[in-house]
């Protein structure tokens, strides 16, 4: 059954970036609807969007399945898991259970332990509600990024200098590359992470990642 997919996205959202990569790796066509996280106080907080996604976060995937109600899925990792199960070829996860678990563990570490501490709403709260100066906010950001990437660097040793699917990227890389993009935005020195840099370079040369990059999205401003 062919599905028509709509992704509610914001060009600089790391979570939406992950999903764009996953969709591209699977070769799935999708329509994007821009939801601006900054303009007008944040369009994700508008009633129209919150009716679609009560969490008020991005991304949101809507699968317009023929003959059934629309399927709405929030949270980037849940979306990627859905894509993996609904569209299993090409796979984004390794076949071996142990490697699948390793991939999920690293992806969860990035998405749940590192990213939430340096996403837009957290940084905004530090500035507006707690009065944290920009320099201190950057120090906060860099501390948590380095803490997280240090663990990822060690975890990548299990792949023996390959990508997570041997010669192909998948679930893990879809989570890693957006975090590296953000780290670079905030001037984090990544030279201590040669495995991460090597994996990132291989991925950034691929069309699936290039087409998902923030700067080439239709709402990039």
Quick: pLDDT tens for 143-156. Answer: 888 989 999 999 99
Last residue of a domain, one of 71, 90, 109: 90
- My answer on whether 103 and 198 are in the same domain is yes
What is the predicted pLDDT for the residue at 39?
79
Rounded to an integer, the average pLDDT of 187-212 is 96
| Closest-CA residue to 212 (of 87, 3, 26) | 26
Residue 68: band (very low, low, confident or very high) from pLDDT cuts 50, 70, 90: low
- My answer on whether 103 and 30 are in the same domain is no
pLDDT, tens digit (0-9, with 9 covering 90-100), for 97-155: 999 999 999 999 999 988 877 777 777 788 788 887 888 878 888 888 898 999 999 99
Rounded to an integer, the average pLDDT of 206-213 is 98
What is the predicted pLDDT for the residue at 67?
54
SS3 74: strand
- My answer on whether 83 and 101 are in the same domain is no
CA dihedral over 80, 221, 190, 200, signed as positive or negative: positive
- My answer on whether 141 and 75 are in the same domain is no
Q: What is the CATH number of the domain that holds 134?
A: 1.20.1050.10
For residue 75, what are the contacts with CB-CB under 8 A and spacing of at least 6? Answer: 15, 55, 57
Residue 202: band (very low, low, confident or very high) from pLDDT cuts 50, 70, 90: very high
pLDDT, tens digit (0-9, with 9 covering 90-100), for 12-46: 899 999 999 999 999 999 999 998 877 777 788 88
The verdict on residue 119 lying in a domain is yes
What is the predicted pLDDT for the residue at 20?
98
Range of the domain at 27: 3-90
pLDDT, tens digit (0-9, with 9 covering 90-100), for 69-103: 789 999 999 999 999 999 999 999 999 999 999 99
């Amino acid at each position: 059954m062919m599905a028509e997919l709509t992704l509610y996205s914001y060009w600089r959202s790391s979570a939406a970036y992950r999903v764009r990569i996953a969709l591209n790796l699977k070769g799935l066509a999708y329509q994007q609807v821009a939801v601006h996280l900054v303009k007008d106080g944040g369009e994700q907080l508008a009633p129209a969007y919150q009716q679609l996604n009560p969490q008020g976060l991005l991304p949101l995937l809507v699968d317009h399945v023929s003959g059934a109600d629309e399927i709405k899925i929030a949270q980037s990792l849940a979306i990627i898991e859905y894509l993996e199960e609904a569209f299993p070829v090409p796979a984004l996860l390794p076949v071996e259970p142990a490697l699948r678990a390793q991939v999920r563990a690293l992806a969860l570490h990035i998405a749940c332990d590192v990213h939430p501490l340096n996403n837009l709403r957290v940084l905004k709260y530090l500035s507006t509600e707690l009065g944290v100066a920009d320099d201190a906010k950057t120090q906060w950001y860099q501390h948590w990024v380095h803490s997280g990437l240090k663990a990822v660097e060690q975890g990548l040793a299990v792949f023996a200098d390959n990508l997570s699917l041997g010669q192909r990227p998948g679930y893990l890389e879809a989570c890693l590359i957006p975090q590296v993009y953000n780290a670079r935005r905030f001037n984090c020195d990544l030279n201590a992470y040669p495995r991460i840099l090597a994996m990132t370079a291989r991925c950034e040369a691929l069309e699936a990642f290039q087409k998902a990059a923030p700067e080439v999205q239709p709402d990039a401003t």
